[in-house]
Amino acid sequence: MVDPQDLVVASSRRQKHVDDVLDRFFSLAKNRAAAIGPRYVTLWQTLERNTSGGKRFRPGMVMGAYESLGGTDSEAAAHIGAAFELLHTALIVHDDVIDRDFIRRGGVNVSGVYRDFAQTAGIPVPAAEHRGLSVAVIAGDLALSNAFRMIDKAGVGDEMRRRLHDIFDEALFASAAGELFDVDFSQLKSMPTVDEVVDMERLKTAVYSFESPCEAGAVLAGASDEAVRALASFGRNIGIAYQIVDDVLGVFGDEAATGKTTIGDLREGKRTVLIAYASGCPEWLEISQWLGLPDLTREQAGVVRRSLEACGARQYAEDLAREFADRAIEELASDALPDATRDEFQPVIDAVLRRVR
Amino acid sequence: MVDPQDLVVASSRRQKHVDDVLDRFFSLAKNRAAAIGPRYVTLWQTLERNTSGGKRFRPGMVMGAYESLGGTDSEAAAHIGAAFELLHTALIVHDDVIDRDFIRRGGVNVSGVYRDFAQTAGIPVPAAEHRGLSVAVIAGDLALSNAFRMIDKAGVGDEMRRRLHDIFDEALFASAAGELFDVDFSQLKSMPTVDEVVDMERLKTAVYSFESPCEAGAVLAGASDEAVRALASFGRNIGIAYQIVDDVLGVFGDEAATGKTTIGDLREGKRTVLIAYASGCPEWLEISQWLGLPDLTREQAGVVRRSLEACGARQYAEDLAREFADRAIEELASDALPDATRDEFQPVIDAVLRRVR
C-alpha cells in the first residue's frame, strides 16, 4: 500500500492540528489502557508510533477541500482528517499482516515490534513472527474501530455525521475489495488485465486516500452536490494516476530520489500496469522467465527493464497516467468549484505529473 | 473464543428479529458488492455464512435486558443485538487468524473457505493457508466496521446513540486487551497466575458477550443508573463463571454432551484456570511433562486428568466458578431490577451452574 509521502498537501498548520487531535486521542486511550495493564499500554504506544511520522496526506486532502470551499470549523475538519489517518493506519497494519512485512518506512511496524519482543524472550523465528502478526491483527482492529468513532467526535450535527459515516464506510468497502483483488493477483496464477489492475489500484488506495477525503471535506463544507461530485471525481482520477506512476517508478524510478528500490516489484512478480500490459507482448517470453525470482540480480533486472521499454509497456503506463491526470484536471476546472479549490489542488496534479518522465 | 451455544436466551421470536436485521444488512452489502465484482460478492456471502447458524446468544442478552426492563421498541433492540452479533463475527474471524484455525463449529470458517479455493486452484498448502488467513483479515475488518455502523441504524436519538457507541467501544477495547493477553499466554514461556487467567477470560469474552450486551439493553430501555450497573455486573460475573466452567469442561467434560473434545486444551497446553492453579502444586512435575504434546494419547490425558484432580485444581476451578455465579445472583437480586429481569436471566444462571458438577 503506497503512502504518498512525496505529495505535500498538509501545511504545517494543518498537520499540527491533526497531530493535536491524534495526540489527545492516544493520550486518552493510553490512560484507559493503563487501567487494564502495562502490556496494553505498550500496544497503544506501538500503535501511536505507527500512526505518527507521516505527512498527514489524507487529512491534508480533507482540510484542503474543506477550507478552499469556505469551511471555517477547522476543529471539525481536523477530526475528519484524523479519522482518515487512523483508517490509513488500520489498513497498512493489516496490509502488512497480509504481505508478512515487518518493516515500514525504514522502521519496524507493529508486527516487527512484537516479533522482536518475542525473539528477545527466546521464542524462535517462525513463532515470533506469528506473534508479531497476531498482535498486528489486534492493533489494526483498534485503529479501524476508532477511525469510525473519530467522526463522532467531530462535533457535527446528526445528518452531517451520517453523511460522513457513509463516505467513510464507502472508503473501507472499496479498500477491502481492492485488498481482496490484490491478494488474488499475488497468489493466483492467471494474469490480470490492465483494466483489472487499474480497478484494483483504484479500490485499494485511490478511493480512501484521494477520493473519499476530497468528498468528505467538500460535504463538511456544505458544498453543492455538483461541487462534491466534481471534487470526488478529481480525487479518484488523480489517485489512479498517482498509483500508475507509482507502478512505473517501482521499476524505472530513481532510487536516490524516491528512496524506493526498483528491483522489489520485479523480484516479487507484482502485477502492475506495466506487467499486465507486457503480458500481451512478444517480449513476454523473455520477461516472464525473470519475473518473480526472489534472487533476481541487478543485471537481470536491467534485461527486464529493457524488455518492458521495448514492448512499449513503460510508454503505455505513462500515457495512461497522464490520461487519468487529464481527467482530474478537467474535473477540477468544473464551474461548480471556486478558484480557491483549484489553487489548493493544482500542486497535487503538478507533483503527480512531475513524477512522470 | 468460546461461543455459549448451550445457553439459550434468545427466544425464536427474538432470533428471527435479529436474523431479519442481519438478512437485510447482508442483502444490501451483497448488492453493493455486485457493482464491484462477483469475487467481492463471494466474500460477502462467505462472511454471511460465518455470521449465521449461531444461537444469537448476545442479541438474546441485549433483548432480554431491554424487554424485561420495559423497552418496547424491539426493532431498535434487534439492531443493537445485530451489532453485537457482527462484533462477535469480527472477533472470531480474527481470532481464528491468530490461532491459525480453519474450522469452526464443524464447518470451514472464512480462512478455510479461501484456503480451499486456493488449493483447488492448484496453490500448494502453505501459500493456500496464507491466502485463507489474508482474506479472513479483510472479512473481519468488514464485520467490525459494520458492527459499529449497525448501531447508527437502530433509529435512536443522538445522546442514546453516543451512549451505546461508548458501551460498544468499551467492549472492543476490552476484548482486544484480552486477545493480547491470550496471545502472550500461548506464546510466552512464563505461567500466568489464576488471577491473570481470569482477567484475560473476562476481557476477551465475558465483557463483549455478557456484560456489554446486558448494559446496552438496559441503557436502551432507559433504566436507572443503578439498574444498569447491577445488570452489567451480573453479566460480567456470570460471564466469568461461564468461562471458568468452560475451562473445566475442556478437560473433564462429557464429549457426547458438550460436543467438544476434552483432549484439545491439554494438547495445546492452553493456560486455563486449571493449569494456572496446578502449576503451584507438587503434581505439576508430572502434569507439565505431558502438557502441550501435540500427540498426547488418551491414556496420557487420563494421567493428567487424575493429577489435576489430585492436586485440587478441578475442585478449585469449580468453586471459583460458583463464587462468580453467586456474585451474579447477588447482583440480579438488586432492588433496582424488576422481577421480570430476574425471570429473564435466571435460566442463564441455571444453565451455567448445571454445567458444573
Task: Decide the pairing of beta strands B107-108 and B103-104.
Answer: antiparallel
Distances (CA, A) of A212 to A231, A242, A275, B234, B244: 10, 15, 28, 43, 46
Average pLDDT, chain B: 94
CA distance A223 to A160: 12
A165 to chain B: which residues are within 8 Å by CB?
A: 149, 152
- The alpha carbon of residue A221 is apart from the nearest alpha carbon of chain B, in Å, by 22
Kindly report, residue by residue over A171-214, the tens digit of the pLDDT: 999 999 999 999 988 877 789 999 999 999 999 999 999 999 99
For A293, list phi and psi in degrees, rounded to 5.
-80, 120
Q: Tell which of B145, B148, B168 to mutate to test the A interface (max A CBs under 10 Å).
A: B145
Q: For chain B, first and last CA: distance in Å?
A: 23
CA atoms within a 13 Å half-sphere pointing along the CA-CB vector of B184: 20
Nearest to A100 by CA among B103, B180, B137, B89: B137
Distances (CA, A) of A180 to A29, B41, B55: 31, 11, 30
Q: Do B134 and A36 touch (CB under 8 A)?
A: no
The count of other CB atoms within 10 Å of the CB of residue A166 is 15
Nearest to A187 among B100, B127, B165 (CB): B127
Domains of chain B: 1-155 (1.10.600.10), 158-356 (1.10.600.10)
B238 near B322, Cβ under 8 Å?
Answer: no
B183 to chain A: which residues are within 8 Å by CB?
A: 131, 134-135, 138
Nearest to B202 by CA among B260, B244, B251: B244
A140 to chain B: which residues are within 8 Å by CB?
A: 137, 141
Kindly report, residue by residue over A249-299, the tens digit of the pLDDT: 999 998 887 777 899 999 999 999 999 999 999 999 999 999 999 999 999
Mean pLDDT by 10 residues, chain B (357 residues): 54 92 98 97 97 89 97 97 98 95 88 94 91 97 97 95 97 98 84 96 97 98 98 98 96 83 91 96 94 94 96 97 98 98 96 83
β-pair partners for B157? none
Kindly report, residue by residue over B211-253, the tens digit of the pLDDT: 999 999 999 999 999 999 999 999 999 999 999 999 999 999 9
Kindly report, residue by residue over B277-334, the tens digit of the pLDDT: 999 999 999 999 999 999 999 999 999 999 999 999 999 999 999 999 999 999 999 9
